[in-house]
Structure 1
Amino acid sequence: MIDFWLAAGLLLLVALSFLLIPVLRGRRAQLEEDRTALNVALYQERVAELQTQQEEGVLDAGQMDTGRAEAARELLADTEGVEAPRVSRLGKPLPLLAAILVPVLGLGLYLHFGASDKVELTREFTQAPQSMEEMTRRLERAVEAQPDSAEGLYFLGRTYMAQDRPADAAKIFERAANVAGRQPELLGQWAQAQYFADGKKWSDKIQALTDEALKADPKEVTSLGLLGIAAFESERYQDAIDYWNRLLTQLPPDDNSRAALQGGIARASEKLVAGGGKLAEAPAAKVAAVLKVRVDLSPELKAKVQPGDSVFIFARATSGPPAPLAAKRLTVADLPATVELGDADAMMPQLKLSNFPEVQLVARISRAGQPTAGEWIGRSQPLASSTTAQQQLTIDSPDK
């Protein structure tokens, strides 16, 4: 912050110089004007002495003219280079008053409208916090400085949960949901914080939050985990198993929480059997979709393409997002070629071939290497994503 005020002070001095320099120049001009007036007075006094001497008969007319000319030369020599005095319309008091009011007014406006607190906060965040309490204070100040930042509210809520402050976290997540538009993840975090703030007592409010979150995103992990906990605590062990199994399918294979989740499922299963219940059969695992396709060029195009042209082969849903579900890249030199497109080639984890019943195969040639635009293209008819027979795809049309 010291650097900021030093820079501000330097700029202030520059601004004041534009106001004070004309005043100082005015003083200099006044001195030069006074000196000129003195020289004129001396000239007039010299001429008067010469006239007196002429009247007394000491000087004749020629000597009088010579003396007058000499006095005039001296006057011109003394005033040479002196600029004509400039008259200021503003006068001296106004620049001096402005020199005082400008910094005072500027400082007042900055303190009222400026962002010195944000500047200092940004500087603090460049340094690693020494403790969780320090991090919490920084986040609280960030939220105070930017109350409409959903990201700042989210991180502050997570920090409160890490510090076992669920009541504070619930209020922050509620604010974040209102700012960001009730995103499923925020609703899940809000419901979880509210559950622990209420002493692990389920309520209609928490149920409504989890229902809203899962309606918007059936795979919202916090809501699934929370519903499993609530079901286990109320001895609804089969519901707990179902929720946790749904959550388990969303976690990456190397996620550290998978072991704890599997342990919870095992305990719920034991309690269900011990109470005389029967485990429901787990739904059959969805078979990963794999499409095999052979790609070739039409005879008419073989003379028009270049070996280094890129070839993008992908599958997309006929009714769904336009983004490719699986894609691979070759070159014209590789054609004809047989490739497999499957769940392992998914561009995004939630967009897999097996999640969409019907897809279309597309192959595009792009000299610029752009998968979304090219020169030539080939498309298949819609087919089931579970198709196992090899498909033939020919690139034969201009890409429009």
Structure 2
Amino acid sequence: MMTLWIVIAAMLLMAAVILLWPIACYKQGQENAPVLSQKQQNVSIFQERLAELENEQTQGNLDKSTFQQLKTELEKTLLGDVQFEEQPIQKAPKNVSIQNWLVMGVITGIFVLACLATYNSLGASDKYQQFLTLADAPLSEEHVAETKAPDFAMAVKALKVKLAENPEDIEKWFLLANSYAAMGDFRQAGEVYNKVAGILGEDKLGYAAAKAAYAQMMFPVAGEKMVPVVQQAINEALRVDPEEPTALILQGLNAYQEQAYPEAIAAWEKAKIKAGEAQVRKFLDPAIAEARREMGAITPPVMQQEKSDQKIAETITKTASIKVNLDISPALRAKVSPQERIFVFAKAGMPMPLAAERLQVKDLPITLVLDDTKAAMPTAKISSAEFVDITARVALSGSPRASKGDLYATAKHVAVQKGVEITLLIDKVVD
């Protein structure tokens, strides 16, 4: 940041020099300009004319008497011209006008202030570092705890200070909620989203999205169950915006879990209206296809295509597996109870794991396989991803969410395909 300000100061200084340089040059030029008078000009004209007459005489065009007569008349003319008081034709001013300096100084000042104001408005956004942090950071809890947690903690602290100064800044409330979600603190994120909805009110744009995000955060907090608080938030979001995609996805998920496949399909089809392209391709279309297969309501013209899709899906499922050789370091094993829980899961950028396994410290060492049979949800399987991050965590608190003191190991960007085998040694501690 210091380098940026030095560059800005240098550029503004150059701009000021460019604006003021013409006045300085004009003053210097005027001081060095020769001062001419009428007398000097007349003498110069006399000398030039006399030289012409002498040249004419030398060439024989004038005889001596004519030359003398013309010379006498020229001398009389010169005498008549120079007998008057000398009047300067050009005189350099002693100083450039103070008014000129004042005008250019004001223009330079306005230029500098305008540049600074423009930068402050468009370039010096205090959200830029927060944006980079949120954009670059994956949502996996263990990665946040390992590398990004301090950054998010600082971002949360800074956002709270800003919001204390301006509690009506909706953008910063959303950034705060996103920061909590990226840290894996879904309860805090949900509370902030709910607060945003309260600040906005039902008549403001963004209310439905905030309510839907609140429902989305509270869903994993409730153990991925459609508890009343989640359902109420979904209903409030859809009452204001019947096409709110996040609320419709959750509504469809609830219907799917209750085996109400037509209702699930209807909700997910409606969610596609406003959902993003990636969300439609990676979740909604596969979820709708699976709900149709479960329902068995496949029309004859579509049957052959669905069978083909099902074969492809089965092939992908058979080849989408990762073998994990898991153990814990002897030093850490001695510090924990054999009954402590271990959560092993694979994620691909979303809070919901694509495959998960639960065991205890006493089970180590162990070799396990993560595939579609270990999916936490039927619509979110490991076969839907090309690469995943795999984490094994000894949860001393007993919660799947990372807590200070938990022991863990992680492997990043693991290819999802048959035959892939990795080794994880739990040897790190969450700070």
TM-score normalised to structure 1 length: 0.37
1 or 2 for the larger relative contact order (CA 8 Å, sep ≥6)? 2
